[in-house]
């Protein structure tokens, strides 16, 4: 009797997971329809963004942009806390780590080789800072760009690229 109940519960769980996976896939495919809006659709001091991100090795992925962002809230955030986060992007080594992990998950040894760090201490100093902020995460022995923070990193980098391109003109 218990075995039949277990089988029924398991079958129900499998069906629920399959349903959630279909909904997730459907929502991901329709993301642009859901979030696409013209600037005229936005209220004053509001912005919207959307995107899909996946590392080349498919170890990390993110679909983002379902919410609108209130620009007034951005400018009213605590400046000290903002500066602590922006410090992560004020280092060429940290930017290189983030860019490498946006391509594929890597062990510390692989990062040392790929990015030519001179000491493990220097590498671990940068990794711990990025990990503490949640920008990167470690699973088993490999580091990866946090899928939860991918949109944040991409938006920061996109803003920087826009500033760079304006300076070049």
Beta strands 46-48 and 68-70 are antiparallel
Three-class SS of residue 131? helix
Cα separation, 150 vs 90, whole angstroms: 18
Q: pLDDT grade, residue 34 (50/70/90)?
A: very low
Q: Tens digit of pLDDT for each residue in 57-102? A: 888 788 877 567 788 888 999 999 999 999 989 999 999 999 999 9
Cα separation, 138 vs 145, whole angstroms: 9
Q: What is the pLDDT of residue 108?
A: 96
Residue with more model confidence, 49 or 92: 92
Cα separation, 91 vs 129, whole angstroms: 11
Q: Give the list of residues 6+ apart from residue 83 with CB closer than 8 angstroms, or none.
A: none
Cα separation, 152 vs 137, whole angstroms: 15
Q: Where are the domains of the chain?
A: 37-168
Architecture of domain 37-168: Orthogonal Bundle (1.10)
Q: What is the pLDDT of residue 163?
A: 92
Could you list the beta-strand ranges (E) of the chain: 46-48, 51-54, 61-64, 68-70, 106-107, 136-139, 142-145
Beta-bridge partners for 156: none
Q: Would you say the pTM of this structure is higher than 0.95?
A: no
For residues 154-162, give the mean pLDDT.
91
């Amino acid at each position: 009797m218990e075995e039949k109940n277990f089988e029924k519960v398991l079958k129900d769980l499998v069906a629920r997971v399959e349903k959630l996976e279909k909904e997730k896939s459907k929502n991901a495919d329709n993301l642009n329809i859901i979030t696409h809006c013209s600037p005229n659709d936005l209220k004053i001091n509001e912005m919207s963004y959307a995107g899909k991100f996946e590392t080349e090795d498919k170890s990390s992925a993110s679909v983002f942009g379902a919410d609108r962002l209130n620009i007034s809230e951005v400018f009213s955030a605590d400046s000290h806390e903002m500066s602590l986060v922006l410090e992560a992007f004020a280092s060429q080594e940290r930017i290189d780590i983030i860019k490498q992990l946006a391509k594929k998950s890597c062990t510390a040894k692989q990062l040392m080789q790929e990015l030519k760090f001179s000491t493990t201490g220097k590498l671990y100093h940068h990794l711990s800072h990025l990990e503490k902020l949640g920008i990167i995460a470690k699973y088993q022995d490999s580091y990866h760009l946090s899928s939860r923070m991918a949109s944040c990193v991409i938006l920061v980098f996109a803003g920087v690229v826009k500033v760079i391109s304006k300076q070049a003109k």
